[in-house]
Amino acid sequence: MSQHDGENKIYDLFIVGGGVNGCGIARDAAGRGLSVMLAEMNDLGSATSSSSTKLFHGGLRYLEYFEFRLVREALIEREVLLSAMPHISWPMRFVLPYHQDMRFEGSTPTSRLLNTFMPWMKGRRPAWLIRLGLFLYDHLGGRKILPGTTTVSLKGTPEGAPLQDRFAKAYEYSDCWIEDSRLVILNARDAEQRGAVIRPRTRVVSAHGEDGLWSVEIRDEATGETSTVCARMVINAGGPWVGDILRQTVRANTRESVRLVRGSHIVTRKLYDHDKCYFLQGTDGRIIFAIPYERDFTLIGTTDSDHPDPYTKPVCTDEEKAYLVNFASQYFKTPVSVDDILWSYSGVRPLYDDGASSATAATRDYTLKLERISGAPLLNIFGGKITTYRRLAESAMDLVGEVFPDLKGKWTARVPLPGGDFPVGDFEAMVGKLHKAYPFLTREWAWRLVRAYGTDAWNLMAEAASAQDMGRDFGATLSEREVRWLRDREYARTAEDIVWRRNKLGLRMTPAQIDDLDQWMKEHGAEGQTAQAH
């Protein structure tokens, strides 16, 4: 956007925040014909939306807090989202080992009820309670793609092989994996292709409402240039910064606030050989997942700890690392140690502050608040989870419709994101087609490209006839051709954007290779500009 554009155009919506909620709303709004500008002070999806456990799931444990509406909505959404993004999301089976000496403790409403009427239970959830929860999980949302719960033996089976011998059986149920940071980027790309203006690395300095119109001052973080944008409505989707934006940027007088909860994860060596996830219960009433990750690793998480403020960078602390490896070691035959940790990451969940006694108990549901400042409408987004981002966007648009009464209707359900226009279940066939079309690619390279870009992999490869046509080799199958695609069409400006968010090749690249990529980006990163239609 040029300064001239910003000074002369009045946008319908100005969205603050380029996480999954902000980009999801931008896509939905642009598809309904509204003019939209989105500003994100850092890289798109660089905070909470790239630091999740990377699951589309209903939230089995949320049933203990009687969050039936949230769980039902999330369960229904799993298959809606699968059909729209079969390249970056896929079904996964979850193995929940059953303890023979189930005991129960904890602070959930369910645990308090059990401790009142069955005081002999201390520790993990009893089998009947798990089975009841899984029954509800199977039937609350309906299923057409995902198989239901089964009971599996852990004796002499692949699922049982990595676990300690004391585990004899398990329950197995369905949820889904999602490449979270790619989800953000694809929503932003689709929004832009529908006419939205997407401005990463653009800070909102101030926003002033007067006579029903917003005047928003923004600053380009790369150049320092400031400009003013006018909009009929502002949407505050700032994630962890939503409260700060509310009080400091728009200076609203409100009591609404978020509770910042840090979730930390570790990535270890590959702990087992099958493609299923483990759902593990702790004696403290908490759960963690152990998930196959990037084909050669295992992802373990997450923790729940209150976080002081959005400007304190979240990191996986030594205490959290020790907690996660000790938790996992209660299950696996070969103990997990901190020496097995290859990478860790941490994100801050901006949960709506409902006054819960603990971070674990705080609601994962979302709350939307519409207000007016000097007649100018402001919509604030509190909380939410990645599985329900599309439904959150629809709910936001219901409130936007109060300001724009002629707004078009809902449209995003099952509409493919860029690259997702192929049937669920055809992924391996797509890999074979790409490999056949470009035989100089290894099978693993073709697999990675289809997993990241879907049908856009053919657009990325275009007329390439040899490995030399891919340009410079940065390592781990990352080519100059792909880097230019990420720069020109996916907003990437640094090596970190690429190897830790657009993909996870940082796990396979050496520090020297990443430094070389970063230098290339510094020299060439400003050459390309994200196109608005491809």
pLDDT band at 360 (very low <50, low <70, confident <90, very high): low
Considering only 131-135, 217-221, 252-256, 293-297, which range has the smallest mean pLDDT? 252-256
Residue 196 and residue 12: Cα distance in Å, rounded?
A: 11
Residue 209's pLDDT is 94
pLDDT digits 0-9 by tens, 384-419: 889 999 999 999 999 999 999 999 999 999 999 999
Which domains does the chain show, CATH number per domain? Answer: 3-48+182-257+364-400 (3.50.50.60), 90-174+259-352 (3.30.9.10), 427-524 (1.10.8.870)
Residue 121's pLDDT is 37
**pLDDT of 363 above 70:** no
pLDDT digits 0-9 by tens, 417-474: 999 999 999 999 999 999 999 999 999 999 999 999 999 999 999 999 999 999 999 9
pLDDT band at 356 (very low <50, low <70, confident <90, very high): low
Residue 111's pLDDT is 53
**pLDDT of 102 above 50:** no
Cis peptide before 302 (omega within 30 of 0): yes
Listed residue (49, 2, 5) closest to 23, CA to CA: 49
* 460, 124 contact by CB (below 8 A): no
Which amino acid belongs to residue 354? D
pLDDT band at 167 (very low <50, low <70, confident <90, very high): very high
Tokens of residue 335, six digits: 């103990």
pLDDT band at 116 (very low <50, low <70, confident <90, very high): very low
pLDDT band at 142 (very low <50, low <70, confident <90, very high): confident
Is the pTM higher than 0.85? yes
Residue 259 and residue 353: Cα distance in Å, rounded?
A: 5
Residue 441 and residue 100: Cα distance in Å, rounded?
A: 49
pLDDT digits 0-9 by tens, 294-304: 999 999 999 98
Question: In the chain, count of helices (H) and strands (E)?
Answer: 15, 20
Residue 301's pLDDT is 94
pLDDT digits 0-9 by tens, 475-534: 999 999 999 999 999 999 999 999 999 999 999 999 999 999 999 999 997 665 544 333
Residue 358's pLDDT is 55
71 phi and psi, to 5 degrees? -65, -45
Which uninterrupted H or E stretch holds 189?
A: helix 180-193
Residue 59's pLDDT is 81
Long-range contacts of 317-321 (CB under 8 A, 24+ apart): 317/264, 320/264, 320/346, 321/264, 321/266
Span 135-142, mean pLDDT? 84
Higher pLDDT, 305 or 38: 38
* 514, 499 contact by CB (below 8 A): yes
Residue 200 and residue 502: Cα distance in Å, rounded?
A: 14
Span 341-360, mean pLDDT? 80
Query: What mean pLDDT value characterizes the chain?
Result: 90
Residue 203 and residue 221: Cα distance in Å, rounded?
A: 7
Residue 453 and residue 505: Cα distance in Å, rounded?
A: 15
pLDDT band at 46 (very low <50, low <70, confident <90, very high): very high
